[in-house]
Amino acid sequence: MPLAITQVDAFTDRPFAGNPAAVCLLPAPAEPAWMQAVAGEMNLSETAFLVARAGGGYDLRWFTPAAEVPLCGHATLASAHVLWEQGRLRPDQPAIFHTRSGELRAQRLAPPNAAANCVGWIELDFPAYAIEMCEPPAGLLEALAGMNAKPLAVNFTGRRLGSPPQAPSDYLVELESEAAVRELAPEHGRLKQLPLRAVIVTGRGSTPGCDFVSRFFAPGVGVVEDPVTGSAHCALVPYWAAKLGKSELTAYQASPRGGWLRLRTAGERVKIAGQAVTVWRGELID
């Protein structure tokens, strides 16, 4: 039977910006190899697969073209958007997702804006990640050598607050300015050879109304540069909240497509808000 599939641009209120994700609603759990093949066919940074639970909520899994990932912000935002847009949830009903990262929730913050295919601001409830200063792995700074700026700090992240220590796989590098982040030109071939999953590059914002900017490179899961990365803000929110002494922040991910996020701290959780728009709908014929 054909399966409905929707492509959504997340963390934007207009098409062809933000981060695109495919959302596929399944009648029953599917084989991981099949989901991986679909994600490769879609060739987006993430494809989300949802299965409704009998007792309420949805099982949710995320796949890049190369691998399954434990957490994805923009595809979760896209999934919640689809559930509300298609009337599978009432406007006042939270979206509840059961995932490899535990239970995640989304809620609508305001009525829809003028765009017919946008349900308005959606806030995600995600885990906060610990930030731990470290020495950069050999070759990382050389792969970022085109940045024309020296890093102010190198940290590793990816461990949830309150969980046991683990080997680092994601790195957070702070640069001296917003301009340095925007002008960064990494050597992607060298990044791909390093023993890391991803690297977040960030800097204090100089654009009015922007507390910080970031970019996200994930060679370990086949993503050269992610347009807007909700999960990266699980680390960026506690990092910048501590540095700036603020519990509410506004951020911009400065990829070529770009996207805005409204953020706030909540103990061992972070709240990540954005908008999303549907770009196309179709059927997957298996």
CATH number for the domain spanning 209: value is 3.10.310.10
Give the per-residue pLDDT at 160.
81
- pLDDT surpasses 70 at 87: yes
Q: Do 221 and 187 lie in a common domain? A: yes
State the residue range of the domain holding 92: 3-127+272-284
Q: Do 122 and 153 lie in a common domain? A: no
Query: Going by C-beta distance under 8 Å and a sequence separation of 6 or more, which residues neighbour residue 51?
Result: 25, 26, 27, 28, 29, 58, 59
- pLDDT surpasses 80 at 230: yes
- pLDDT surpasses 90 at 110: no
Q: Do 143 and 260 lie in a common domain? A: yes
Which residue among 31, 41, 46, 187 is the active-site one? 46
Q: Do 86 and 112 lie in a common domain? A: yes
At 54, give phi and psi (nearest 5°).
-60, -35
Give the per-residue pLDDT at 111.
63
Q: Which residue has the tokens 């929707």?
A: 6
Q: How many domains does the chain have?
A: 2
Q: Do 72 and 108 lie in a common domain? A: yes
Structure-model confidence comparison of residues 85 and 169, the more confident one: 85
Average pLDDT, the chain: 92
Q: Do 158 and 246 lie in a common domain? A: yes
Q: Which residue has the tokens 């024309």?
A: 148
Q: Do 83 and 175 lie in a common domain? A: no
Q: Do 10 and 35 lie in a common domain? A: yes
b/e burial code for range 99-121 (CB count within 10 A of at least 16 → b): bebeebbbbbeeebeeeebbbbb
Give the per-residue pLDDT at 26.
97
Mean pLDDT value of segment 43-51: 97
Confidence of residue 195 (pLDDT cuts 50, 70, 90): confident
Query: Distances in Å between the alpha carbon of 194 and those of 40, 120, 135, 171?
Result: 23, 39, 14, 11
Mean pLDDT value of segment 142-171: 77
Strand ranges (E), the chain: 3-10, 19-26, 46-52, 58-63, 68-69, 95-99, 102-108, 122-127, 132-133, 153-157, 170-174, 198-204, 212-218, 223-226, 248-253, 259-266, 269-274, 276-284
Query: CA–CA separation, 257 vs 259, rounded Å?
Result: 7
Give the per-residue pLDDT at 231.
94
Give the per-residue pLDDT at 113.
58
Report which of 219, 213, 226 is spatially closest to residue 253, judged by C-alpha positions.
213
Confidence of residue 14 (pLDDT cuts 50, 70, 90): very high
Mean pLDDT value of segment 189-217: 94
Confidence of residue 166 (pLDDT cuts 50, 70, 90): low
Percentage of the chain exceeding pLDDT 70: 95
Task: Write the DSSP symbol of residue 145.
Answer: G
- pLDDT surpasses 90 at 118: no
Give the per-residue pLDDT at 149.
63
Give the per-residue pLDDT at 146.
57
Q: Do 193 and 85 lie in a common domain? A: no
Q: Do 123 and 138 lie in a common domain? A: no
Mean pLDDT value of segment 211-234: 94
Mean pLDDT value of segment 1-28: 95
Structure-model confidence comparison of residues 162 and 283, the more confident one: 283
Query: Going by C-beta distance under 8 Å and a sequence separation of 6 or more, which residues neighbour residue 33?
Result: none
- pLDDT surpasses 90 at 165: no
Q: Do 152 and 262 lie in a common domain? A: yes
187 is known as an active-site residue: no
* Contact present, 59 and 30 (Cβ < 8 Å): no
* Contact present, 276 and 260 (Cβ < 8 Å): no
Q: Do 118 and 138 lie in a common domain? A: no
